[in-house]
Amino acid sequence: MRTYESIIIGAGPAGITAAVYAARKKIDFLVITKDIGGQAALSGDIQNYTGYQFIAGPELVAKFEEHLRKFDISIKENEEVVELKKEDNLVLVKTKKDIYTAKTAIVASGKRSKELNVAGEKEFKNRGLTYCATCDAPLFANKSVAVIGGGNSALDAVLQLIKITKEIYLINNTPSLGGDQIMKEKVEESKIVKIFNNTQVLEIVGDRFVRGIKIKKDKIIEELSVQGIFVEIGLIPNSEFIKDVEKNEFGEIKVNCKNETSTQAIFACGDVTDVPEKQIIVACGEGAKAALSAFRFLSQQR
């Protein structure tokens, strides 16, 4: 079995940047990933990535991938990691297809969408209920929809849907919307958006497809007639496959300023870590740091 100097898990902004830096440092490494782009590929309008006053998420990811492909990098795409552990001074990475070993690993596996866990959610998934406005918004042209959430993900979804749908119910279970102020202002100014704060989702209803959503506000239960539901209530770190590193209460991998985890030779970066700000530009910077730290570690080994 070939032993790499490093294995990078994930190819979102953090993983891609780590790979570019690792390639420039001539590290012998492998990238294992389910997809290219991660959550960034699902973003709508991005206005806070340095160098671009405005760029769509898929377009930015295409530029990331173009940069990545400039190097002769070994990539295992559409491959999911199920276990990562330290064994005999090597890092063993097991996927659903194979087993790989390396002297170091960089975990950049990102996050995935949280589910509502209410009645009807599983039944109507992909039948009117979705977790990606960037992917599915065009399917709901001129229809009534609900967006569930109150942070940047929900606001981003609403701003995409404003251009397409006829009315939007924004359902938020906290007293007020969070997220960036400029995004909140745009949402609140829209005449087709109705905001429900302090509101709980009880059930998704329909027949073959979504036809409505039951909500509870101030002890009053009502059913809103909608044909589409976008769940944007946050993200869960993809960290279940790694057990022997310290994590916080949210399942995020704890790292220091050098992107070192609690286990030697295992580094982590991006949204899967406890770095406080989940932003594309932050993930890129963290990916660069992680690759440089792995290179430094390898350089000190005999």
Q: What string of pLDDT tens digits covers the 302 residues of the chain? A: 799 999 999 999 999 999 999 999 999 999 999 999 988 887 777 888 999 988 888 899 999 999 999 999 999 999 999 999 999 899 999 999 999 999 999 999 999 989 999 999 999 998 999 998 877 888 899 999 999 999 998 999 999 999 999 999 999 999 999 999 999 999 999 999 999 999 999 999 999 999 999 999 999 999 999 999 999 998 899 999 999 899 999 999 999 999 999 999 999 999 999 998 888 999 999 999 999 999 999 999 86
What tokens appear for 221 in the block? 């239960």
Q: What is the pLDDT of residue 118?
A: 96
Q: What is the pLDDT of residue 234?
A: 86
Among 101, 95, 75, residue whose Cα is nearest residue 16? 75
What tokens appear for 83 in the block? 């276990």
Q: What is the pLDDT of residue 135?
A: 79
Q: What is the pLDDT of residue 151?
A: 93
Domain boundaries defined on the chain = 3-112+235-299, 115-231
Q: What is the pLDDT of residue 57?
A: 87
Query: What long-range pairs does 61-67 form, CB within 8 A, spacing at least 24?
Result: 61/36, 61/37, 64/13, 64/16, 64/17, 64/36, 64/37, 64/40, 65/16, 65/36, 65/37, 67/16, 67/20
Do 115-231 and 3-112+235-299 have the same topology in CATH?
yes
Q: Which amino acid is at 234?
A: G
Q: What is the pLDDT of residue 133?
A: 86
Q: What is the pLDDT of residue 204?
A: 97
Helix/strand number for the chain, H first, E second: 6, 19
**Gap between the Cα atoms of 106 and 260, Å rounded:** 9
**Gap between the Cα atoms of 182 and 218, Å rounded:** 29
DSSP codes of every residue in 15-42: HHHHHHHHHHTT--EEEE-SSSSGGGGG
Contact between 119 and 203 (Cβ < 8 Å): yes
Phi-psi region of 162 (alpha: psi -120 to 50; beta: other; left: phi over 0): alpha
Of the CATH numbers 3.30.450.20, 3.50.50.60, 3.10.20.600, 3.30.160.270, which one belongs to the domain with range 3-112+235-299?
3.50.50.60
For residue 51, how far is the Cα from the chain centroid? 22
Of the CATH numbers 3.30.565.10, 3.30.465.10, 3.40.30.10, 3.50.50.60, which one belongs to the domain with range 115-231?
3.50.50.60
Q: What is the pLDDT of residue 258?
A: 98
Q: What is the DSSP letter of 115?
A: P
